[in-house]
């Protein structure tokens, strides 16, 4: 394989991968790729099959069907050495120091003692843990200990970093710092795949997302594409006593009354249908003479798209 080919090869390819436990399907006919240099969010509700899939990527669990390729090749010990992995189940040697823990994992990945220790000290300094380098792990806060485990996963400067629920248990400050670390990995040339239940992180970080539910893929694309799956909504306020939905009965929308902050106003949330746009609703308001006090399009978030797509997928499967 030429250098040009290796650079263009996806870092990860799953093709029709399935896995069952005791006859119960955990992953079903799953196919997707992760391109080099991307930050990819691997999302899904509890029990969707995310951790099982990550374990198969790392050859910890064996797929029943399908194929998984890393760096353009079948799974192998050599390919795994090019990966950094943070498991959802955390665990550190509590009597060791952060620099010793990180250096230890560096040695496991083939670094010399001298290089592993140098990288450990540099990573701790760069990530605000320099003063904690020689403290016992048991003396660190949960957030600091979690950062140490993440640094241990990347000390060998892996090409591909897999993080399973990396934001779990972190306070907002540490979450923000971890987001910066993930961006830094991508900027340094690494490819990142992470699973999370917190959609805000995926929305801010990801170039693309893969969403699974009940073991099968239900979405694969960019964040903007996912947000486009959310029905457009508008919040409107009018004078009290005005039946706004009746004035706008020609608009393709459903209206729900919401609590208003002031007794002199009525507040409604309109969910647009059949391709209706905000301008159409505004024009209808003006034409009807509706006394508007507020007209505010609602910005969708990835959380909303997640709920919509998972709900649609479950309804489709549960339909008779």
263 and 197 assigned to the same domain? no
Residue 210 dihedral angles phi and psi, to the nearest 5°: -120, 125
In a domain, 280, yes or no: yes
Show the tokens assigned to 95: 């009597």
CATH number at residue 294: 3.30.70
Only one residue has tokens 């010399």, namely 112
71 and 29 assigned to the same domain? yes
In a domain, 311, yes or no: no
In a domain, 201, yes or no: yes
Residue at which a domain ends, from 225, 260, 278: 225
In a domain, 28, yes or no: yes
The rounded distance, in Å, linking the Cα atoms of 190 and 182 is: 9
H runs (alpha helix) in the chain: 3-8, 50-57, 77-80, 98-108, 113-126, 142-154, 172-187, 199-205, 223-227, 244-247, 278-288, 302-318
Q: Which long-range contacts (CB under 8 A, 24 or more apart) does 131-139 make?
A: 132/98, 133/97, 133/98, 133/99, 134/97, 134/98, 134/99, 135/97, 135/98, 136/94, 136/95, 136/96, 136/97, 137/92, 137/93, 137/94, 137/95, 137/96, 137/97, 137/98, 137/101, 138/94, 138/95
In a domain, 23, yes or no: yes
pLDDT of residue 6: 52
Domain that holds residue 255: 233-299
> What's the N-to-C CA distance of the chain in angstroms?
50
185 and 275 assigned to the same domain? no
Residue at which a domain ends, from 225, 241, 261: 225
pLDDT of residue 1: 44
Residue at which a domain ends, from 184, 199, 225: 225
> What total number of domains does the chain contain?
2
CB 163 within 8 A of CB 195: yes
In a domain, 213, yes or no: yes
237 and 292 assigned to the same domain? yes
**Sequence-ordered list of residues with C-beta below 8 angstroms from that of 110, at least 6 positions apart, any chain:** 81, 156
62 and 189 assigned to the same domain? yes
pLDDT of residue 261: 81
287 and 180 assigned to the same domain? no
In a domain, 272, yes or no: yes
- Taking only the tens of pLDDT, the chain with its 320 residues reads 444 445 568 999 999 999 999 999 999 999 999 999 999 999 999 889 999 999 999 999 999 999 999 999 999 999 989 999 998 877 788 899 999 999 999 999 999 999 999 999 999 999 889 999 999 999 988 888 888 999 999 999 999 999 999 988 788 888 898 899 999 999 999 999 999 888 999 999 999 999 999 999 999 999 999 999 999 999 999 988 888 888 888 888 999 998 888 888 889 999 998 777 888 888 888 998 888 889 999 999 999 999 999 999 988 888 77
17 and 67 assigned to the same domain? yes
pLDDT of residue 319: 77
164 and 76 assigned to the same domain? yes
CATH number at residue 46: 3.40.50.300
In a domain, 102, yes or no: no
pLDDT of residue 25: 94
């Amino acid at each position: 394989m030429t250098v040009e080919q290796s650079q263009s090869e996806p870092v990860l390819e799953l093709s029709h991968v399935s896995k069952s436990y005791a006859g119960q399907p955990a992953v079903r006919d799953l196919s997707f790729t992760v391109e080099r240099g991307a930050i990819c969010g691997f999302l899904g509700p509890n029990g969707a099959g995310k951790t099982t899939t990550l374990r198969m990527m790392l050859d910890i669990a064996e797929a029943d069907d399908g194929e998984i390729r890393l760096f353009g090749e079948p799974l192998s010990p050599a390919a795994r050495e090019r990966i950094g992995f943070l498991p959802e189940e955390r665990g550190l040697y509590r009597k060791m120091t952060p620099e010793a823990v990180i250096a230890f994992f560096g040695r496991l990945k083939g670094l010399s003692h001298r290089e592993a220790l140098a990288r450990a000290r540099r990573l701790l300094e760069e990530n605000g843990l320099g003063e904690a380098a020689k403290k016992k792990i048991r003396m660190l806060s949960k957030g600091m200990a979690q950062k140490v485990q993440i640094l241990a996963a990347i000390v060998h400067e892996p090409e591909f970093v897999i993080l399973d629920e990396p934001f779990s248990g972190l306070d907002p400050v540490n979450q923000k710092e971890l987001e910066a670390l993930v961006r830094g990995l991508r900027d340094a040339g690494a490819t990142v795949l992470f699973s999370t239940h917190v959609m805000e992180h995926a929305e801010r970080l990801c170039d693309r997302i893969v969403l699974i539910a009940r073991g099968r893929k239900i979405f694969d694309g960019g964040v903007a594409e996912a947000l486009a799956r959310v029905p457009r909504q508008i919040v409107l306020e009018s004078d009290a006593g005005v039946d706004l939905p009746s004035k706008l009965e020609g608009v393709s929308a459903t209206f729900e009354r919401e609590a208003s902050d002031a007794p002199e106003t009525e507040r409604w949330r309109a969910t647009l249908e059949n391709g209706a746009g905000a301008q159409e609703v505004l024009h209808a308001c003006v034409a009807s003479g509706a006394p508007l006090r507020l007209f505010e399009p609602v910005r969708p978030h990835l959380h909303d798209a997640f709920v919509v797509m998972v709900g649609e997928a479950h309804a489709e499967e549960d339909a008779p």
